[in-house]
A and B are shown apart, each in its own frame.
Chain A
Protein backbone atom coordinates (compact mmCIF):
# COMPACT_ATOMS: atom_id res chain seq x y z
CA UNK A 1 0.00 0.00 0.00
CA UNK A 2 2.65 2.44 1.12
CA UNK A 3 4.97 1.53 -1.71
CA UNK A 4 2.32 1.88 -4.37
CA UNK A 5 1.45 5.33 -3.07
CA UNK A 6 5.14 6.26 -3.25
CA UNK A 7 5.31 5.19 -6.88
CA UNK A 8 2.15 7.00 -7.84
CA UNK A 9 3.35 10.21 -6.21
CA UNK A 10 6.61 9.90 -8.16
CA UNK A 11 4.54 9.54 -11.31
CA UNK A 12 2.54 12.66 -10.48
CA UNK A 13 5.80 14.55 -9.94
CA UNK A 14 7.08 13.37 -13.31
CA UNK A 15 3.81 14.41 -14.92
CA UNK A 16 4.12 17.86 -13.28
CA UNK A 17 7.60 18.22 -14.73
CA UNK A 18 6.40 17.12 -18.16
CA UNK A 19 3.62 19.71 -18.12
CA UNK A 20 6.10 22.34 -16.90
CA UNK A 21 8.35 21.60 -19.86
CA UNK A 22 5.39 21.63 -22.27
CA UNK A 23 4.31 25.05 -21.01
CA UNK A 24 7.83 26.41 -21.39
CA UNK A 25 8.34 25.03 -24.92
CA UNK A 26 7.51 28.24 -26.82
CA UNK A 27 9.81 30.38 -24.69
CA UNK A 28 12.60 27.76 -24.72
CA UNK A 29 12.32 27.60 -28.48
CA UNK A 30 12.55 31.39 -28.75
CA UNK A 31 15.84 31.44 -26.80
CA UNK A 32 17.26 28.48 -28.72
CA UNK A 33 16.27 29.88 -32.12
CA UNK A 34 17.81 33.25 -31.35
CA UNK A 35 21.18 31.56 -30.80
CA UNK A 36 21.51 29.11 -33.68
CA UNK A 37 22.22 29.60 -37.40
CA UNK A 38 19.08 30.33 -39.45
CA UNK A 39 19.36 27.08 -41.37
CA UNK A 40 19.64 25.00 -38.20
CA UNK A 41 16.39 26.55 -36.90
CA UNK A 42 14.50 25.03 -39.81
CA UNK A 43 16.44 21.76 -39.97
CA UNK A 44 15.93 20.98 -36.28
CA UNK A 45 12.13 21.28 -36.36
CA UNK A 46 10.24 18.23 -35.20
CA UNK A 47 13.17 16.89 -33.22
CA UNK A 48 14.28 17.59 -29.64
CA UNK A 49 17.24 19.44 -31.13
CA UNK A 50 14.81 22.38 -31.64
CA UNK A 51 15.48 23.42 -28.06
CA UNK A 52 19.24 23.25 -27.89
CA UNK A 53 22.09 24.65 -29.88
CA UNK A 54 25.52 23.16 -30.32
CA UNK A 55 27.01 26.02 -32.29
CA UNK A 56 25.72 29.23 -30.71
CA UNK A 57 25.99 32.33 -32.86
CA UNK A 58 25.46 36.01 -32.08
CA UNK A 59 24.68 36.85 -35.72
CA UNK A 60 20.95 37.28 -35.04
CA UNK A 61 21.55 39.72 -32.20
CA UNK A 62 23.88 41.73 -34.43
CA UNK A 63 21.25 41.67 -37.22
CA UNK A 64 18.52 42.81 -34.79
CA UNK A 65 20.70 45.70 -33.62
CA UNK A 66 21.88 46.73 -37.11
CA UNK A 67 18.71 46.18 -39.13
CA UNK A 68 16.10 46.56 -36.44
CA UNK A 69 17.73 49.41 -34.50
CA UNK A 70 16.93 47.73 -31.17
CA UNK A 71 19.17 50.11 -29.23
CA UNK A 72 17.08 53.18 -30.18
CA UNK A 73 13.79 51.49 -29.37
CA UNK A 74 15.15 50.16 -26.05
CA UNK A 75 16.30 53.64 -25.02
CA UNK A 76 12.94 55.17 -26.04
CA UNK A 77 11.02 52.56 -24.04
CA UNK A 78 13.27 52.85 -21.04
CA UNK A 79 12.95 56.64 -20.87
CA UNK A 80 9.16 56.58 -21.38
CA UNK A 81 8.66 53.88 -18.74
CA UNK A 82 10.96 55.61 -16.24
CA UNK A 83 9.00 58.85 -16.74
CA UNK A 84 5.69 57.05 -16.13
CA UNK A 85 6.96 55.31 -12.99
CA UNK A 86 8.74 58.29 -11.39
CA UNK A 87 6.25 60.94 -12.52
CA UNK A 88 3.49 58.63 -11.35
CA UNK A 89 5.03 58.32 -7.92
CA UNK A 90 5.24 62.12 -7.61
CA UNK A 91 1.49 62.56 -8.19
CA UNK A 92 0.10 59.29 -6.77
CA UNK A 93 1.93 59.13 -3.44
CA UNK A 94 0.81 62.57 -2.14
CA UNK A 95 -2.76 61.87 -3.28
CA UNK A 96 -2.73 58.47 -1.57
CA UNK A 97 -1.42 60.06 1.63
CA UNK A 98 -4.10 62.75 1.61
CA UNK A 99 -6.84 60.14 1.10
CA UNK A 100 -5.41 58.08 3.97
CA UNK A 101 -4.76 60.78 6.57
CA UNK A 102 -6.18 64.23 5.84
CA UNK A 103 -9.73 65.38 6.32
CA UNK A 104 -11.28 67.45 3.57
CA UNK A 105 -14.75 67.91 2.08
CA UNK A 106 -15.68 65.34 -0.59
CA UNK A 107 -12.88 62.94 0.31
CA UNK A 108 -14.95 59.76 0.16
CA UNK A 109 -16.77 60.78 -3.02
CA UNK A 110 -13.61 61.75 -4.91
CA UNK A 111 -11.89 58.54 -3.81
CA UNK A 112 -14.85 56.44 -4.94
CA UNK A 113 -14.87 58.16 -8.36
CA UNK A 114 -11.14 57.56 -8.70
CA UNK A 115 -11.43 53.87 -7.86
CA UNK A 116 -14.21 53.48 -10.41
CA UNK A 117 -11.83 54.64 -13.16
CA UNK A 118 -9.70 51.53 -12.54
CA UNK A 119 -11.99 49.39 -14.68
CA UNK A 120 -11.94 51.73 -17.71
CA UNK A 121 -9.58 50.03 -20.16
CA UNK A 122 -7.33 52.13 -22.38
CA UNK A 123 -8.64 50.21 -25.40
CA UNK A 124 -12.06 51.81 -24.91
CA UNK A 125 -10.84 55.41 -24.88
CA UNK A 126 -7.81 55.20 -27.16
CA UNK A 127 -9.23 57.35 -29.98
CA UNK A 128 -10.54 60.24 -27.81
CA UNK A 129 -7.32 60.09 -25.78
CA UNK A 130 -5.46 60.56 -29.06
CA UNK A 131 -7.73 63.58 -29.75
CA UNK A 132 -6.78 64.96 -26.33
CA UNK A 133 -3.02 64.80 -26.88
CA UNK A 134 -3.03 65.60 -30.62
CA UNK A 135 -3.37 69.41 -30.39
CA UNK A 136 -0.05 69.48 -28.52
CA UNK A 137 1.61 68.06 -31.62
CA UNK A 138 1.91 71.63 -32.93
CA UNK A 139 4.46 72.00 -30.13
CA UNK A 140 6.82 69.96 -32.31
CA UNK A 141 7.62 73.25 -34.03
CA UNK A 142 9.31 74.17 -30.76
CA UNK A 143 9.97 70.77 -29.23
CA UNK A 144 11.72 67.91 -30.93
CA UNK A 145 9.39 65.18 -32.27
CA UNK A 146 11.15 62.70 -29.99
CA UNK A 147 10.48 64.84 -26.93
CA UNK A 148 6.82 65.20 -27.88
CA UNK A 149 6.46 61.43 -28.35
CA UNK A 150 8.05 60.71 -24.98
CA UNK A 151 5.60 63.12 -23.35
CA UNK A 152 2.64 61.61 -25.19
CA UNK A 153 3.79 58.10 -24.23
CA UNK A 154 4.23 58.89 -20.55
CA UNK A 155 2.17 61.80 -19.19
CA UNK A 156 -1.31 60.27 -19.73
CA UNK A 157 -0.35 57.21 -17.65
CA UNK A 158 1.33 58.86 -14.67
CA UNK A 159 -1.74 59.30 -12.48
CA UNK A 160 -3.21 55.87 -11.81
CA UNK A 161 -6.14 55.11 -9.52
CA UNK A 162 -4.90 51.59 -8.81
CA UNK A 163 -1.54 52.85 -7.54
CA UNK A 164 -3.25 55.50 -5.39
CA UNK A 165 -5.43 52.74 -3.94
CA UNK A 166 -2.46 50.46 -3.21
CA UNK A 167 -0.37 53.22 -1.60
CA UNK A 168 -3.34 54.44 0.44
CA UNK A 169 -3.75 50.96 1.92
CA UNK A 170 -0.09 51.05 2.95
CA UNK A 171 -0.35 54.52 4.52
CA UNK A 172 -3.47 53.40 6.41
CA UNK A 173 -1.57 50.45 7.85
CA UNK A 174 1.17 52.67 9.35
CA UNK A 175 0.83 53.23 13.11
CA UNK A 176 -0.44 56.77 13.67
CA UNK A 177 1.96 57.32 16.58
CA UNK A 178 4.86 57.79 14.15
CA UNK A 179 3.24 60.77 12.49
CA UNK A 180 1.87 62.20 15.74
CA UNK A 181 5.42 62.31 17.11
CA UNK A 182 6.50 64.27 14.03
CA UNK A 183 3.59 66.70 14.46
CA UNK A 184 4.55 67.25 18.12
CA UNK A 185 8.05 68.13 16.93
CA UNK A 186 6.47 70.88 14.84
CA UNK A 187 6.62 69.24 11.44
CA UNK A 188 3.84 70.19 8.99
CA UNK A 189 1.94 67.86 6.67
CA UNK A 190 4.50 68.03 3.93
CA UNK A 191 7.49 67.23 6.13
CA UNK A 192 5.62 64.46 7.91
CA UNK A 193 4.68 62.94 4.58
CA UNK A 194 8.17 63.23 3.12
CA UNK A 195 10.31 62.31 6.14
CA UNK A 196 8.08 59.95 8.13
CA UNK A 197 5.30 58.37 6.06
CA UNK A 198 7.05 57.88 2.73
CA UNK A 199 10.22 56.13 4.04
CA UNK A 200 8.01 53.71 5.96
CA UNK A 201 6.18 52.40 2.90
CA UNK A 202 9.31 51.76 0.82
CA UNK A 203 8.36 48.19 -0.24
CA UNK A 204 5.04 49.48 -1.56
CA UNK A 205 6.81 52.23 -3.49
CA UNK A 206 9.11 49.69 -5.13
CA UNK A 207 6.07 47.53 -5.93
CA UNK A 208 4.25 50.41 -7.59
CA UNK A 209 7.33 51.46 -9.59
CA UNK A 210 7.87 47.90 -10.72
CA UNK A 211 4.25 47.32 -11.72
CA UNK A 212 4.34 50.50 -13.82
CA UNK A 213 7.61 49.39 -15.37
CA UNK A 214 6.37 45.94 -16.37
CA UNK A 215 2.91 47.02 -17.55
CA UNK A 216 4.12 49.91 -19.70
CA UNK A 217 7.22 48.13 -20.97
CA UNK A 218 4.74 45.83 -22.68
CA UNK A 219 2.41 48.56 -24.03
CA UNK A 220 1.53 48.17 -27.68
CA UNK A 221 -1.70 49.90 -28.74
CA UNK A 222 -0.90 53.40 -27.42
CA UNK A 223 2.65 53.51 -28.88
CA UNK A 224 1.12 52.28 -32.15
CA UNK A 225 -1.13 55.35 -32.12
CA UNK A 226 1.37 58.04 -31.10
CA UNK A 227 4.79 56.93 -32.41
CA UNK A 228 4.87 58.13 -35.99
CA UNK A 229 8.57 58.12 -36.78
CA UNK A 230 10.94 55.15 -36.79
CA UNK A 231 13.29 56.81 -34.30
CA UNK A 232 10.48 57.40 -31.76
CA UNK A 233 9.21 53.80 -31.63
CA UNK A 234 9.13 51.74 -28.46
CA UNK A 235 10.68 48.29 -28.40
CA UNK A 236 7.39 46.40 -28.79
CA UNK A 237 6.46 48.51 -31.78
CA UNK A 238 9.96 48.11 -33.19
CA UNK A 239 9.62 44.34 -32.96
CA UNK A 240 6.18 44.32 -34.61
CA UNK A 241 7.59 46.49 -37.38
CA UNK A 242 10.79 44.47 -37.78
CA UNK A 243 8.62 41.36 -38.05
CA UNK A 244 6.70 42.72 -41.06
CA UNK A 245 9.75 43.75 -43.08
CA UNK A 246 10.78 41.07 -45.54
CA UNK A 247 12.92 39.06 -45.64
CA UNK A 248 11.77 37.66 -42.28
CA UNK A 249 14.77 36.06 -40.66
CA UNK A 250 13.42 33.92 -37.83
CA UNK A 251 16.60 34.04 -35.79
CA UNK A 252 16.82 37.82 -35.91
CA UNK A 253 13.15 38.23 -35.00
CA UNK A 254 13.59 35.89 -32.02
CA UNK A 255 16.75 37.74 -30.97
CA UNK A 256 14.76 41.00 -31.06
CA UNK A 257 12.12 39.32 -28.90
CA UNK A 258 14.71 38.18 -26.37
CA UNK A 259 16.24 41.67 -26.20
CA UNK A 260 12.75 43.17 -25.69
CA UNK A 261 12.11 40.70 -22.86
CA UNK A 262 15.30 40.70 -20.81
CA UNK A 263 15.19 44.20 -19.22
CA UNK A 264 11.73 43.49 -17.87
CA UNK A 265 12.62 40.03 -16.57
CA UNK A 266 15.66 41.47 -14.80
CA UNK A 267 13.50 44.17 -13.18
CA UNK A 268 10.98 41.54 -12.03
CA UNK A 269 13.59 39.20 -10.58
CA UNK A 270 15.37 42.04 -8.75
CA UNK A 271 12.12 43.47 -7.40
CA UNK A 272 10.39 40.20 -6.54
CA UNK A 273 11.30 40.14 -2.85
CA UNK A 274 10.10 43.75 -2.43
CA UNK A 275 6.74 42.90 -3.96
CA UNK A 276 6.34 39.87 -1.72
CA UNK A 277 7.32 41.91 1.34
CA UNK A 278 4.89 44.74 0.60
CA UNK A 279 2.04 42.30 0.03
CA UNK A 280 2.90 40.42 3.23
CA UNK A 281 2.98 43.58 5.37
CA UNK A 282 -0.39 44.68 3.99
CA UNK A 283 -1.77 41.36 5.15
CA UNK A 284 -0.16 41.40 8.58
CA UNK A 285 -1.16 44.87 9.64
CA UNK A 286 -4.80 44.69 8.73
Chain B
Protein backbone atom coordinates (compact mmCIF):
# COMPACT_ATOMS: atom_id res chain seq x y z
CA UNK B 1 0.00 0.00 0.00
CA UNK B 2 2.72 2.43 1.04
CA UNK B 3 4.87 1.47 -1.95
CA UNK B 4 1.95 2.03 -4.27
CA UNK B 5 1.29 5.43 -2.73
CA UNK B 6 4.92 6.37 -3.34
CA UNK B 7 4.74 5.30 -6.97
CA UNK B 8 1.47 7.17 -7.55
CA UNK B 9 2.86 10.27 -5.86
CA UNK B 10 5.94 10.07 -8.04
CA UNK B 11 3.78 9.92 -11.17
CA UNK B 12 1.76 12.94 -9.98
CA UNK B 13 4.83 15.04 -9.20
CA UNK B 14 7.25 13.93 -11.93
CA UNK B 15 5.97 15.90 -14.97
CA UNK B 16 6.02 19.28 -13.21
CA UNK B 17 9.38 18.60 -11.56
CA UNK B 18 10.94 17.43 -14.81
CA UNK B 19 9.81 20.58 -16.64
CA UNK B 20 11.05 22.89 -13.89
CA UNK B 21 14.36 21.02 -13.77
CA UNK B 22 14.79 21.34 -17.53
CA UNK B 23 13.53 24.90 -18.02
CA UNK B 24 14.51 26.67 -14.78
CA UNK B 25 17.25 24.88 -12.84
CA UNK B 26 19.23 23.55 -15.80
CA UNK B 27 19.43 27.05 -17.37
CA UNK B 28 20.64 28.44 -14.03
CA UNK B 29 23.45 25.88 -13.97
CA UNK B 30 24.11 26.51 -17.65
CA UNK B 31 24.53 30.25 -17.05
CA UNK B 32 27.59 29.52 -14.95
CA UNK B 33 29.03 26.70 -17.08
CA UNK B 34 28.63 28.63 -20.35
CA UNK B 35 30.20 31.74 -18.83
CA UNK B 36 33.67 30.11 -18.72
CA UNK B 37 33.78 29.11 -22.40
CA UNK B 38 34.17 30.99 -25.65
CA UNK B 39 30.88 30.47 -27.46
CA UNK B 40 29.54 32.33 -30.46
CA UNK B 41 25.84 32.60 -31.14
CA UNK B 42 25.82 30.19 -34.09
CA UNK B 43 28.66 27.87 -32.97
CA UNK B 44 27.39 24.30 -32.95
CA UNK B 45 29.80 23.45 -30.10
CA UNK B 46 31.39 25.28 -27.16
CA UNK B 47 34.76 26.84 -27.97
CA UNK B 48 37.82 26.49 -25.71
CA UNK B 49 37.61 26.84 -21.93
CA UNK B 50 38.67 30.37 -21.09
CA UNK B 51 38.44 30.59 -17.32
CA UNK B 52 37.39 34.02 -16.14
CA UNK B 53 38.23 35.80 -19.42
CA UNK B 54 34.56 36.53 -20.11
CA UNK B 55 34.21 38.08 -16.67
CA UNK B 56 37.31 40.18 -17.24
CA UNK B 57 35.93 41.37 -20.58
CA UNK B 58 32.63 42.11 -18.88
CA UNK B 59 34.10 44.27 -16.14
CA UNK B 60 36.38 46.03 -18.65
CA UNK B 61 33.37 46.96 -20.79
CA UNK B 62 32.22 50.47 -19.83
CA UNK B 63 28.80 49.68 -21.35
CA UNK B 64 28.25 47.02 -18.69
CA UNK B 65 29.18 49.42 -15.90
CA UNK B 66 26.82 51.96 -17.42
CA UNK B 67 23.96 49.50 -17.65
CA UNK B 68 24.51 48.33 -14.06
CA UNK B 69 24.53 51.95 -12.87
CA UNK B 70 21.35 52.74 -14.83
CA UNK B 71 19.58 49.70 -13.42
CA UNK B 72 20.69 50.62 -9.90
CA UNK B 73 19.49 54.22 -10.24
CA UNK B 74 16.20 53.04 -11.72
CA UNK B 75 15.67 50.57 -8.84
CA UNK B 76 16.65 53.06 -6.13
CA UNK B 77 14.23 55.61 -7.61
CA UNK B 78 11.29 53.35 -8.47
CA UNK B 79 11.10 51.26 -5.30
CA UNK B 80 10.63 54.09 -2.75
CA UNK B 81 8.51 56.25 -5.09
CA UNK B 82 6.21 53.43 -6.08
CA UNK B 83 5.85 52.02 -2.57
CA UNK B 84 5.09 55.45 -1.07
CA UNK B 85 2.59 56.28 -3.80
CA UNK B 86 0.92 52.88 -3.45
CA UNK B 87 0.60 53.37 0.31
CA UNK B 88 -0.89 56.84 -0.09
CA UNK B 89 -3.42 55.57 -2.62
CA UNK B 90 -4.26 52.56 -0.46
CA UNK B 91 -4.95 54.78 2.57
CA UNK B 92 -6.91 57.19 0.42
CA UNK B 93 -9.05 54.63 -1.39
CA UNK B 94 -9.73 52.50 1.69
CA UNK B 95 -13.33 53.76 1.71
CA UNK B 96 -16.58 52.69 0.10
CA UNK B 97 -17.25 56.14 -1.39
CA UNK B 98 -17.69 55.87 -5.15
CA UNK B 99 -15.12 58.56 -5.92
CA UNK B 100 -12.51 56.47 -4.07
CA UNK B 101 -13.55 53.35 -5.92
CA UNK B 102 -13.12 55.20 -9.22
CA UNK B 103 -9.64 56.24 -8.14
CA UNK B 104 -8.81 52.65 -7.19
CA UNK B 105 -9.88 51.30 -10.59
CA UNK B 106 -8.03 54.04 -12.43
CA UNK B 107 -4.76 53.46 -10.53
CA UNK B 108 -5.05 49.68 -10.89
CA UNK B 109 -5.83 49.66 -14.62
CA UNK B 110 -2.26 50.21 -15.96
CA UNK B 111 -0.88 47.27 -13.95
CA UNK B 112 -2.90 44.76 -15.93
CA UNK B 113 -2.16 46.30 -19.33
CA UNK B 114 0.83 45.09 -21.27
CA UNK B 115 4.13 46.84 -20.67
CA UNK B 116 4.75 46.71 -24.41
CA UNK B 117 1.54 48.55 -25.27
CA UNK B 118 2.13 51.10 -22.51
CA UNK B 119 5.74 51.68 -23.56
CA UNK B 120 4.68 52.35 -27.14
CA UNK B 121 1.95 54.64 -25.83
CA UNK B 122 4.25 56.63 -23.54
CA UNK B 123 6.86 56.90 -26.27
CA UNK B 124 4.25 58.85 -28.25
CA UNK B 125 3.12 60.81 -25.18
CA UNK B 126 6.73 61.89 -24.55
CA UNK B 127 7.38 62.84 -28.21
CA UNK B 128 9.31 66.14 -28.29
CA UNK B 129 7.77 69.16 -29.96
CA UNK B 130 8.39 68.92 -33.70
CA UNK B 131 6.71 69.41 -37.03
CA UNK B 132 6.08 65.69 -37.56
CA UNK B 133 3.97 65.47 -34.41
CA UNK B 134 4.18 66.70 -30.83
CA UNK B 135 3.46 64.31 -27.93
CA UNK B 136 0.56 64.84 -25.55
CA UNK B 137 2.73 65.98 -22.65
CA UNK B 138 4.51 68.61 -24.71
CA UNK B 139 1.16 69.57 -26.21
CA UNK B 140 -0.17 70.16 -22.69
CA UNK B 141 2.99 72.07 -21.68
CA UNK B 142 2.66 74.29 -24.75
CA UNK B 143 -1.04 74.75 -24.01
CA UNK B 144 -0.10 76.00 -20.52
CA UNK B 145 2.62 78.26 -22.02
CA UNK B 146 5.38 76.28 -20.30
CA UNK B 147 8.67 75.36 -22.02
CA UNK B 148 8.47 72.03 -23.85
CA UNK B 149 10.84 69.25 -22.81
CA UNK B 150 12.98 66.78 -24.79
CA UNK B 151 12.06 63.90 -22.40
CA UNK B 152 13.27 60.63 -24.00
CA UNK B 153 15.63 62.34 -26.43
CA UNK B 154 17.73 63.88 -23.65
CA UNK B 155 20.42 61.78 -21.93
CA UNK B 156 19.63 63.62 -18.69
CA UNK B 157 15.86 63.20 -18.75
CA UNK B 158 15.31 59.84 -20.45
CA UNK B 159 15.87 57.52 -17.46
CA UNK B 160 13.68 59.71 -15.26
CA UNK B 161 10.96 59.74 -17.88
CA UNK B 162 11.06 55.94 -17.76
CA UNK B 163 11.01 56.02 -13.93
CA UNK B 164 7.81 58.12 -13.97
CA UNK B 165 6.13 55.86 -16.51
CA UNK B 166 7.10 52.76 -14.50
CA UNK B 167 5.82 54.18 -11.22
CA UNK B 168 2.53 55.07 -12.91
CA UNK B 169 2.31 51.57 -14.34
CA UNK B 170 3.26 49.59 -11.24
CA UNK B 171 1.78 51.42 -8.24
CA UNK B 172 -1.71 49.91 -8.64
CA UNK B 173 -0.74 46.34 -7.85
CA UNK B 174 1.00 47.33 -4.62
CA UNK B 175 -1.92 49.57 -3.72
CA UNK B 176 -4.16 46.48 -3.89
CA UNK B 177 -1.79 44.50 -1.66
CA UNK B 178 -1.70 47.37 0.86
CA UNK B 179 -5.50 47.66 0.72
CA UNK B 180 -5.87 43.98 1.56
CA UNK B 181 -3.58 44.49 4.55
CA UNK B 182 -5.42 47.63 5.70
CA UNK B 183 -8.75 45.85 5.61
CA UNK B 184 -7.39 43.15 7.92
CA UNK B 185 -6.84 45.67 10.74
CA UNK B 186 -9.65 45.29 13.30
CA UNK B 187 -11.67 48.49 13.81
CA UNK B 188 -11.45 48.07 17.61
CA UNK B 189 -7.77 48.97 17.52
CA UNK B 190 -8.55 52.38 16.09
CA UNK B 191 -11.37 52.72 18.60
CA UNK B 192 -9.01 51.98 21.47
CA UNK B 193 -6.44 54.42 20.16
CA UNK B 194 -9.10 57.12 19.84
CA UNK B 195 -10.24 56.53 23.42
CA UNK B 196 -6.62 57.04 24.45
CA UNK B 197 -6.86 60.42 22.76
CA UNK B 198 -4.71 59.56 19.73
CA UNK B 199 -5.06 61.93 16.78
CA UNK B 200 -5.03 60.89 13.15
CA UNK B 201 -1.25 60.94 12.89
CA UNK B 202 -0.83 58.92 16.07
CA UNK B 203 -3.38 56.38 14.89
CA UNK B 204 -1.45 56.01 11.65
CA UNK B 205 1.91 55.84 13.41
CA UNK B 206 0.92 53.39 16.18
CA UNK B 207 -1.91 51.31 14.70
CA UNK B 208 -1.73 51.32 10.90
CA UNK B 209 2.00 51.33 10.36
CA UNK B 210 2.89 48.39 12.65
CA UNK B 211 0.00 46.37 11.20
CA UNK B 212 1.07 46.78 7.60
CA UNK B 213 4.85 46.65 8.15
CA UNK B 214 5.17 42.97 7.05
CA UNK B 215 3.16 43.73 3.92
CA UNK B 216 5.28 46.78 3.20
CA UNK B 217 8.37 44.64 3.43
CA UNK B 218 6.96 42.06 1.05
CA UNK B 219 5.98 44.82 -1.38
CA UNK B 220 9.46 46.35 -1.30
CA UNK B 221 11.10 42.99 -1.98
CA UNK B 222 8.88 42.14 -4.93
CA UNK B 223 9.19 45.63 -6.40
CA UNK B 224 12.97 45.51 -6.10
CA UNK B 225 13.17 42.32 -8.16
CA UNK B 226 10.71 43.75 -10.68
CA UNK B 227 12.75 46.92 -11.01
CA UNK B 228 16.03 45.03 -11.44
CA UNK B 229 14.56 43.16 -14.42
CA UNK B 230 14.00 46.45 -16.25
CA UNK B 231 13.97 45.78 -19.99
CA UNK B 232 10.77 46.37 -21.96
CA UNK B 233 10.30 50.09 -21.25
CA UNK B 234 13.75 51.31 -22.36
CA UNK B 235 14.01 48.69 -25.12
CA UNK B 236 10.86 50.02 -26.75
CA UNK B 237 11.02 53.69 -25.83
CA UNK B 238 14.72 54.44 -26.35
CA UNK B 239 16.58 51.23 -27.35
CA UNK B 240 18.86 52.02 -24.42
CA UNK B 241 19.76 55.49 -25.70
CA UNK B 242 20.33 58.35 -25.95
CA UNK B 243 24.07 57.79 -25.40
CA UNK B 244 23.43 54.62 -23.41
CA UNK B 245 21.65 56.57 -20.69
CA UNK B 246 18.79 54.06 -20.40
CA UNK B 247 20.62 50.80 -21.21
CA UNK B 248 19.63 48.21 -18.61
CA UNK B 249 21.48 45.07 -17.51
CA UNK B 250 18.90 42.79 -19.17
CA UNK B 251 19.25 44.69 -22.44
CA UNK B 252 23.04 44.39 -22.14
CA UNK B 253 22.66 40.61 -21.80
CA UNK B 254 20.27 40.48 -24.76
CA UNK B 255 22.56 42.53 -26.97
CA UNK B 256 25.68 40.61 -25.94
CA UNK B 257 23.97 37.41 -27.07
CA UNK B 258 22.14 38.52 -30.19
CA UNK B 259 24.01 41.59 -31.49
CA UNK B 260 27.61 40.94 -30.36
CA UNK B 261 26.80 37.21 -30.74
CA UNK B 262 28.97 36.35 -27.73
CA UNK B 263 27.10 33.80 -25.60
CA UNK B 264 30.01 33.40 -23.18
CA UNK B 265 29.94 37.12 -22.39
CA UNK B 266 26.14 37.15 -22.20
CA UNK B 267 26.16 34.26 -19.71
CA UNK B 268 28.92 35.90 -17.65
CA UNK B 269 26.72 39.00 -17.42
CA UNK B 270 23.75 36.75 -16.60
CA UNK B 271 25.73 35.03 -13.84
CA UNK B 272 26.76 38.36 -12.29
CA UNK B 273 23.16 39.54 -12.51
CA UNK B 274 21.84 36.33 -10.94
CA UNK B 275 24.27 36.57 -8.02
CA UNK B 276 23.42 40.26 -7.56
CA UNK B 277 19.67 39.58 -7.49
CA UNK B 278 20.14 36.76 -4.94
CA UNK B 279 22.44 38.90 -2.76
CA UNK B 280 19.97 41.79 -2.78
CA UNK B 281 17.10 39.46 -1.83
CA UNK B 282 19.15 37.92 1.00
CA UNK B 283 20.35 41.33 2.20
CA UNK B 284 16.76 42.55 2.43
CA UNK B 285 15.82 39.44 4.41
CA UNK B 286 18.67 40.04 6.86
CA UNK B 287 17.75 43.69 7.20
CA UNK B 288 14.19 42.70 8.08
CA UNK B 289 15.48 40.36 10.79
CA UNK B 290 17.62 43.12 12.30
CA UNK B 291 14.66 45.50 12.31
CA UNK B 292 12.38 42.87 13.85
CA UNK B 293 14.90 42.09 16.60
CA UNK B 294 15.11 45.77 17.53
CA UNK B 295 11.38 46.00 18.15
Contact = CB atoms under 8 A, between A and B. Distances in A.
Interface of A: 13-14, 16-17, 19-21, 23-27, 29-30, 41-42, 45-47, 50, 90-92, 94-95, 97-99, 102-105, 107, 110, 114, 117, 119-121, 123-132, 155-159, 161, 164, 188-190, 193, 214, 217-218, 220-221, 224-225, 236-237, 239-240, 243, 250, 253-254, 257, 260-261, 264-265, 268
Q: 4 closest A-B pairs (Cβ-Cβ)?
A: A45-B139, A46-B143, A159-B19, A98-B12
Given A45-B143, A131-B30, A243-B236, 7 more contacts: A23-B110, A24-B109, A103-B9, A119-B281, A123-B253, A218-B113, A243-B120
Contacts of B118: 26
A161 B17 CA distance: 9
B123 to A, nearest CB: 8
Contacts of A46: 139-140, 142-143
A32 to B, nearest CB: 10
Contacts of B13: 94-95, 98-99, 104, 110
Given A119-B281, A221-B232, A239-B120, A132 B23 contact: yes
Contacts of B107: 20, 23
Contact of A159 (B15, B115, B254): B15
Interface centre among B5, B10, B13 (most CB of A within 10 A): B13
B273 interface: yes
B143 A123 contact: no
Contacts of B295: none
A17 B98 CA distance: 9
B31 A264 contact: no
A24 B105 CA distance: 9
A236 B23 contact: no
Contacts, number: 241
A268 B115 CA distance: 16
A90 B14 CA distance: 12
Contact of B8 (A102, A105, A264): A102
Given A17-B99, A26-B125, A236 B114 contact: yes
A34 to B, nearest CB: 10
A37 to B, nearest CB: 14
B16 A129 contact: no
Contact of A124 (B124, B232, B270): B270
Given A17-B102, A30-B121, A104-B9, A132 B22 contact: yes
B286 interface: no
A117 B142 contact: no
Interface in B78-126: 92-93, 97, 99-100, 102-103, 105-107, 109-110, 112-118, 120-125
B155 to A, nearest CB: 21
A131 B12 contact: no
Given A94-B12, A114-B17, A120 B24 contact: yes
A264 B124 contact: no
Interface centre among A45, A130, A193 (most CB of B within 10 A): A45
Contacts of B22: 132
Given A20-B106, A117-B24, A102 B5 contact: yes
B168 interface: yes
A103 B13 CA distance: 12
Interface centre among B20, B110, B125, B263 (most CB of A within 10 A): B20
Contacts of A19: 103, 106
B277 A221 contact: no
